[in-house]
Structure 1
């Protein structure tokens, strides 16, 4: 069994992965609190000249303290890596709920939108503009409350500069003025993205969705969209006031909060006394790069699949009912995609490799972990998927599949095809039900 510790944290399995960072489960060995650790390589950050951006992201996440924003606890560093200790959110992505249900009801959509606007308004009051608001960056906690994550593209306005100039964000959610390269107001741009999110929550699809970017940009610039017939007049009116292509006449957050449709059953978050934010750990990591190291420990051999320890399994199963690992009846919300197999670990790897090759995906494999890469089916981007094998009991393996890059909807389509081609290795219960599916514990 491989065991790894970073300072006072026992580090577990990978739950997320991107170009510059991995996110892992971890447990504070002093308090037993479960956290998420975002791990970044110092050499990668330096190579890509991202020191300032990462430092900004960390500083922003420490500044913004709101119930609907993922909390950053502390920052640590070893000689080679930076560790960002984050609040662990168990409810998955809001996007997964939309994918599964098709669309949300008006009251539920309004509640999420109210929480989103509350959090965005708070950020703007601190001079922070997110610039990449989309359902994939909105998480849900165990009580179903919304949490904004991923401040990697956030901006703090430079002193004396009123407009932002970097074109960033996800094209389907980005405001017309951001695409114009003429400078834009970060607050108005975030409001536009919130309007697109509200539309997606209520419709189950995007207002602007084209396979080629020129057509997409033209429709965004003209705010060319239509509302489905089930939108109430109040919701439709508010969405059209938000998706105004002119940022000067677009409704602002104060106007949104005064809108009759928005204000129904609205209870504003009441802030207590502002916490004093200490950025000493951030300065220690980035300013004194040779100091403030935490100890890293790794014990055991790496000759086989990782073995899940108790705290991971309990966290994964939302309590002591481990049937959640396998039970399709509990898959109605989240999307951490995984299945269980009784085949030998090497046979599982071999089967997945063969299926990936048949789907024209490139395969990189090492230590019972695979990365599958290829062009998405809509031909407008890359899809990258990570597959990892875990031993959960003797001769019983959990195969964890997660998106590393690409569109979430494309990933869901990929996973369905993958499982259909792996029926011969997926363990079936005595009733013949496959032990796989969209589990309700984590997001992909």
Structure 2
């Protein structure tokens, strides 16, 4: 078993904390050990990609991202592969998840929402896609009907949902019951808030058209009066100036094209890293926040050995109806009950801060955030024996009594 919190190095990059997790990929913070540059690395399981026949889709996504140079499009730096994984090195974009900002700060004004110009860069020129992917609330009707779909019209629908969320502050299609949610999506059953401008209402209704053949197309959106306000066309690199060789190389098992993955001795967290996580030192801090402020992760510190921390987490999770999977000093907790947004799942990881001090991060990777809060409130009571509290905090509590 590797050292607690040991860092993974892939090629020239040292991988850090997980920034996000989806159905098919995980995104981690990383640092280039030669240049010091901070990046985000999207990690895909190669066998999963091959098994679901997503090779051409992945190639198209990477190629398109390499060709587009635009301030609102995340830039891709390079692509690597090991024997089992594909690593896409991306520009690091700070600020957290957009939906969290909307929940905590409220909806955006129309000019702000329009300026984001969000578009998914995954499509196939010659035929229909058949892999159902994405969050149910954003999925187009043709995906639910399982008859195959054109990635371009599917993306138009998903961007329409995002635009609606940005301006309204909530989803156009939502229901605790997944079948009922799909029924609303299939019928295109939604209403626009009264504060939407007439131009925004007309565009969203044409985008969220359940019949993909009647849905507005990308060229038509580019000519739309509401959309064109302040529009800056993207600039494209000339194809001959962009190297696409590494895209084919990631599926080539020749040893010369593969990067090495190796665990290294854990680094002690520096002062900046500790300060950035300081609010998570106390288990109760998550619930001392303002009501309505949604958090998807938290952390605490412990002076107990990592093996005991792992055992205690497992003991606390199982009575709450969670299945536990362990790998090194990481754990996946999967709820056995279906909640408002599917099964609640939580990822935990133990980091070494010092030889006798460890930090444990808990992060929601699936399900409803409010359900995560309820789970954590019960879960935390089973961990109080291993949580470290500084003498200053203990003294303050004693004085308060």
TM-score by length of 2: 0.76
Structure 2 residue 372 is matched with structure 1 residue 414: yes
Q: Is the 8 A contact 1:92 1:334 kept in 2?
A: no
Which whole-Å deviations, capped at 9, do the CAs of 1:110-168 have from their partners, x for residues lacking one? 42343235xx3xxxxxxxxx4xxxxxxxxxxxxxxxxxxxx6xx22212xx5x656655
Structure 2 residue 248 is matched with structure 1 residue 244: no
Q: Is the 8 A contact 2:160 2:208 kept in 1?
A: yes
List aligned pairs for 1:20-99, cutoff 5 A: 21-42=25-46, 45=49, 51-99=55-103
Cα distance in 1 for residues equivalent to 2:81 and 2:150: 35
Q: Which of 199, 203, 208 is the equivalent residue of 2:164?
A: 199
Q: Which of 181, 186, 207 is the equivalent residue of 1:221?
A: 186
Structure 2 residue 158 is matched with structure 1 residue 190: no
Q: Is the 8 A contact 2:160 2:204 kept in 1?
A: yes
Shift of 1:95: 1.8
Cα distance in 1 for residues equivalent to 2:214 and 2:52: 39
List aligned pairs for 1:95-106, cutoff 5 A: 95-101=99-105, 103-106=106-109
For structure 2, list consecutive stretches of 5 or more residues without a partner in the other structure: 397-401
Pick which of 360-369 and 378-387 moved more: 378-387
Cα distance in 2 for residues equivalent to 1:22 and 1:77: 15
- Partner of 2:317 in structure 1? 356
Shift of 1:219: 2.0
Taking a change above 3 Å as real, the CA distance of residues 325 and 192 of structure 1, as seen in their structure-2 partners, is same
Q: Is the 8 A contact 2:334 2:346 kept in 1?
A: yes
Structure 2 residue 265 is matched with structure 1 residue 324: no
- Partner of 1:403 in structure 2? 364
1:245 alignment partner, SS class: coil
Q: Which of 342, 346, 359 is the equivalent residue of 1:381?
A: 342
For structure 1, list consecutive stretches of 5 or more residues without a partner in the other structure: 121-129, 131-150, 301-305, 435-444
Shift of 1:394: 5.3
Q: Which of 298, 313, 319 is the equivalent residue of 1:338?
A: 298
Structure 2 residue 227 is matched with structure 1 residue 268: no
Q: Is the 8 A contact 2:294 2:369 kept in 1?
A: no
2:243 alignment partner, SS class: coil
Taking a change above 3 Å as real, the CA distance of residues 181 and 394 of structure 1, as seen in their structure-2 partners, is closer
Taking a change above 3 Å as real, the CA distance of residues 19 and 372 of structure 1, as seen in their structure-2 partners, is same
TM-score by length of 1: 0.70
Q: Is the 8 A contact 1:284 1:291 kept in 2?
A: no
- Partner of 1:155 in structure 2? 123
Which whole-Å deviations, capped at 9, do the CAs of 1:237-292 have from their partners, x for residues lacking one? 4323332334454444455455555455x241552754622111122232453432
Size of the aligned set, in residue pairs, is 378
Cα distance in 1 for residues equivalent to 2:45 and 2:223: 45
CA RMSD of aligned residues (A): 3.8
Which whole-Å deviations, capped at 9, do the CAs of 1:71-130 have from their partners, x for residues lacking one? 2211223445433322222222112223334x41324xx42343235xx3xxxxxxxxx4
Shift of 1:43: 5.1
Shift of 1:28: 1.4
1:67 alignment partner, SS class: coil
Cα distance in 2 for residues equivalent to 1:170 and 1:37: 21
